[in-house]
Structure 1
């Protein structure tokens, strides 16, 4: 009995010295917002193997017309690749809906059809006003019922985190996506175009970690071009497509997600993973010919938390009696042109 009494403190001491299991670094995932049937997209998907753990493909976009939904189906047959997620986008045109049974019916039927394709999950990217998160909960519950065993994952915004309904929105679900990139339109052409605020992102992730619900962070790889008219008011925003034909701006501003700031943030998370942060989902997968996106080599480095110095040089190409001067980026990261 005396021996057991001496052993008890030793056992307790050893238990207290047990090392805490380190949290794994967030995995790398990406959105495929482009048409997954195109050759250049197929090549990019093939190239991503070994770097990206999961891809999430745009499957459908819904717009409320005032009486019914106009639905653009991007994926209608079998999945373009195995073990991928699907994304259903519901635009701001539906922001005023109460999500009654009648209003949900068409969306739920679509989710049921997408779930039949057996994706790893279905993300619901809904432009919901913060004041109506209670109705978003009603929608998500109905969509999860329609999807059966396929998880329905909501996309959320940092501004929602302190809303009274947010905890109820995400609690009891397999997780959620926290989208930390958004276009902040400048009021004048002289103001910068902001896509990503690293300081605000750190605060949002810290707040999300405190909720105890698994989450992923959606970050940006893309750029935006903002067109201004003669009155210096915004006339168009271009982030994925070419500019509208027959139009030209009086002035324009351009911004690209900062690869250096993004790489530093990823490195922080890799070295000290925030509780609950399972993955970073990058919007969007680099595709050949996509001028408003990082090139693949930049994406690979940033996604691993690696940064590279800028290498913009002035090159002199002699011609007969004259020389041509070229500003050339020899680095692995995009660089802004000198002012």
Structure 2
């Protein structure tokens, strides 16, 4: 009887000890090197962010942090590798489009993108800027809207943010243009610069130097707010289409099997690294606005944008496999 009574008296302490196991496990993570698999080539925004915060994460985690680039198939190649990783120390760096757009375009993948991966945090937001060759004489959104249907527009590739943004714009405004996809935003910008194509919605970080140098004419910004680097350029919403918002995000994703406590730890540590003034300043130079939101907020936004871009893909009858 005394032994039973003693056990009952100890139960609250035992329960409390068990309750703190998940946080204790999370604090022990990582126990070996962490791989950040970048879904796009070196020099792209996600890759740059990963390498900028790499030293801070190594110092916090006490383990090597290795950034590996594995580009291909719109980010699906890297996504597949991370989704199948079982070591608990492999994470994915890439745009939110991997979860919000790709599932609508790639229906024959051997794995389910949204079921296999989950957002840990959004590093930073970025926009597309509608730019035109100055020789085309398109100096306002009103003039852009009068382009005839036969005129081509450039994008960084089918299903990319620049393409999807323009498809959303065409559906919203009723404008009809002909799509010319390129192998990335760089080549798309080069052909607009050369005058081979009049205009294109191209990621702001790529076209910004050309706009500032007067080699491209900026017409509108895709997001909800104006760029701090191009404060005189209106948003599409300000150009007569309230509610238009094509904001994108560079993100950190994890296999769905990663414990929630570990996800929360990674998010906190990444947010702390992003909050360094030098990091914020460097990203601002690329027209990237630091986010660092919680996993819950990132997952909520991902679900909303998945529905939004699904409607665009369906309207444009887009499928890539």
Give the structure with the larger helix fraction. Answer: 2
Return the index of the structure with the highest Cα Rg.
1
So what's the TM-score if we normalise by structure 2?
0.27
Larger relative contact order (Cα-Cα within 8 Å, sequence gap ≥ 6): 2
So what's the TM-score if we normalise by structure 1?
0.26
Give the structure with the larger strand fraction. Answer: 1
